[in-house]
Amino acid sequence: MLSWFLESVWLIPLYPLVGTVVAALWFPGIIRRTGPRPAGYINALMTLVALGHTLLAFVALGGREPLGYSLPWLQVAGLDLSLPLLVSPVSLAAMAVIFGVNFLAQVYAFGYLEMDWGWARFFSLLAFFEVGMSALVLCDSLFFSYMILEVLTLGTYLLVGFWLNQPLVVTGARDAFLTKRVGDLLLLMGVLSLWPLSHTWNFTELAQWATQRDTLAYAEAHPQVFFLLGLALLAGPLGKCAQFPFHLWLDEAMEGPLPATILRNAVVVLTGSWVLVKLTPILALSPGVMGVTVGVGVATALGAALIAIAQICVKRTLSYPVSAYLGLVFVAVGTGHPQTALLMMLTYAVAMGLPVMAAGNVLWNSITQDVRLLGGLAARRPVTLLCWSVGIAGVVAVPPLGGFWSWLQLVTDLAEQSPGLVAVVLLVNGLLTFGLVRVVCLIFGNRPQPMSERSPELHWPFILPMTVLAGMVLHVPHLLAVTGLLPAWQRDWGLLLTLSTLSGASLAALVYLSPGIPKPVRLPVASLQDLLAYDLYTPKIYRLTVVGLVDLVSRISDVLDRYLVDGLVNLVGVVTVFGGETLKYSTSGKFQWYLFTILVGMALVVGLAVMTFLN
């Protein structure tokens, strides 16, 4: 009986697909009378079914070898595209996290979208993401991973653009689509140029191919090929994971509905790093690419952690840590530790949804998202405060919790290779802690502000998923211990990490809770504060470089098309019309003129004939 669940794993992405389709029935234009709520309930049910199936399959798989299936898709001359599925403990665990977080986010959305009519569209898209993400972790092919990433990019566009009557939503959705699309397109270049080298897109076979002696010799002989290939393959995850310089979209994606943000911050951004982890063997063929990966990761981790500290929007203080944390995942991959990256992704995915949920709890009935206008909620919102703190503790390095172990593993891995990177990781941990604790202090500490004067705790659809998720976060170390994933305890590094977390947290508490420092806090260097608050002026940089260039080129080509190409064709017509208009005056209406032309014509013909005869 249990083995059936394992054999039918391919069914799992189809459950939410059913939800996607069925939810569409409750569009306000189709079922007009009874409201959109069943769309949400059906989708939550389908998620639960998928979660149950996943867990049963996990039990059935036990500790056995990963199972591989192959579904035929398309066979054309010389190209056999079949969809390989790999059912491994890792992919099943990833699916369990995806469906678990999704279910909680959906229940949360029951409460959050209470006064919204767009349940059908919202839940349909949410289920669409479930389909894409579960298919991504199941499929074992770079080609199909690329297809799913593209589909999810479209999903992001539609989900961020949910409340499309707001102008900032429209621009945010546009940027989210285009930025991720550029990364995906570069990834497509990499995917296509990988085929003639490896003749396979199957991740398992790619990993084998990348370690063959022939391949290594070839890579040694042609470093540029693998450098460019690696860069193209890196670009896809770069856009998906909101890394520098493709990070602006995540900031603007915070315009979307908050339950979707839970999902995006916790899970969706991990789709990129999932593919990145799977590509590690190929990236490792070029030391240059590994260097770039580490460089991007370090730059994003430090930059985004600093930017997060300078934000005043609650949702944005939680979006830049996403980029920063994923930067560290990039560092882990770039230094050749994909297992560490997977562990980081697991602990992060479980924990990161929690601060977003807790923030949504505050935002839902405090209206404002400006941390400067909130305060003094600790006494009245104890559950939210507790869950938020647990979420932060689960993300940064706080000893018994899950996040600590992945940070510890990362630091242990890096310690052998480069002390500089360890310093970066410790610094990022401190900065992340500072930024995350700062928000909690500002919202829950101090005296109530006008906007948070009356702020009751919310009803069950908000509290239930949040507390359940908090419980899950608290149980992550136990789960790690049971599955044998718990890294070995390293006393020195553990203490250093704890110290960096403690110093970040206590510094934040000191700055934002003590009445001695005037609020809002101003740095001595105002320009630096503005630089960080405005995200290093990234929109301006985009507009000046890429957008400006593309805009200019398209304007020029439009002018060329309008005037040169069109003009040349139109000139032919104009000349013809002009010829007709002028030549008609040869018909003068005078009889003698006609006679004259006849005679001239005859004279010419006779003259020509005579000339030819004489010659």
Partner 1 sequence: MQLNYFLLLAAALFCIGIYGLVTSRNAVRVLMSVELLLNAVNLNFLAFANYLDPADIKGQVFAVFVITVAAAEAAVGLAIVLAIYRNRDTIDMERFNLLKW
Q: Which residues make up the interface to partner 1 (CB under 8 A)?
A: 584-585, 587-592, 595-596, 599
**Least distance in angstroms from the C-beta of 585 to partner 1:** 6
Nearest to partner 1 of 482, 605 (CB atom): 605
Nearest to partner 1 of 460, 593 (CB atom): 593
H-helix or E-strand containing 290?
A: helix 287-309
Nearest to partner 1 of 199, 584 (CB atom): 584
**Least distance in angstroms from the C-beta of 611 to partner 1:** 19
Tokens coding 31: 């079922």
Nearest to partner 1 of 382, 579 (CB atom): 579
**Least distance in angstroms from the C-beta of 599 to partner 1:** 6
First-to-last CA distance in the chain? 107
**Least distance in angstroms from the C-beta of 592 to partner 1:** 5
Nearest to partner 1 of 565, 595 (CB atom): 595
8 Å CB contact between 368 and 338: no
One-letter amino acid at 32 equals: R
**Least distance in angstroms from the C-beta of 577 to partner 1:** 15
CA angle 133, 137, 140 (to 5 degrees): 130
Closest CA to 128 of 142, 148, 100: 148
- Classify the phi-psi angles of 583: left when phi > 0, otherwise alpha if psi is within -120 to 50, otherwise beta: alpha
**Least distance in angstroms from the C-beta of 574 to partner 1:** 20
Nearest to partner 1 of 585, 613 (CB atom): 585
Q: How far apart are CA 250 and CA 155, in angstroms?
A: 14
**Least distance in angstroms from the C-beta of 170 to partner 1:** 58
Nearest to partner 1 of 73, 593 (CB atom): 593
Nearest to partner 1 of 591, 613 (CB atom): 591
Q: How far is CA 450 from CA 145, 367, 372, in A?
A: 49, 11, 11
HSE-up (13 A, CA, CB side) for residue 551: 7
- Cβ density class 367-376: b for 16+ within 10 Å, e for less: ebbebebbbb
Nearest to partner 1 of 4, 596 (CB atom): 596
Closest CA to 414 of 424, 405, 404: 424
Residue 559, SS3 per DSSP: helix
Tokens coding 410: 């990362």
Phi, psi of 370 (to 5 degrees): -85, 120
**Least distance in angstroms from the C-beta of 575 to partner 1:** 19
One-letter amino acid at 25 equals: L
**Least distance in angstroms from the C-beta of 548 to partner 1:** 55
One-letter amino acid at 580 equals: G
Which residues share a beta bridge with 71?
83
Nearest to partner 1 of 571, 603 (CB atom): 603
**Least distance in angstroms from the C-beta of 583 to partner 1:** 9
Closest CA to 85 of 141, 151, 150, 3: 141
To the nearest 10 degrees (0 to 180), the angle between helices 167-198 and 203-211 is: 50
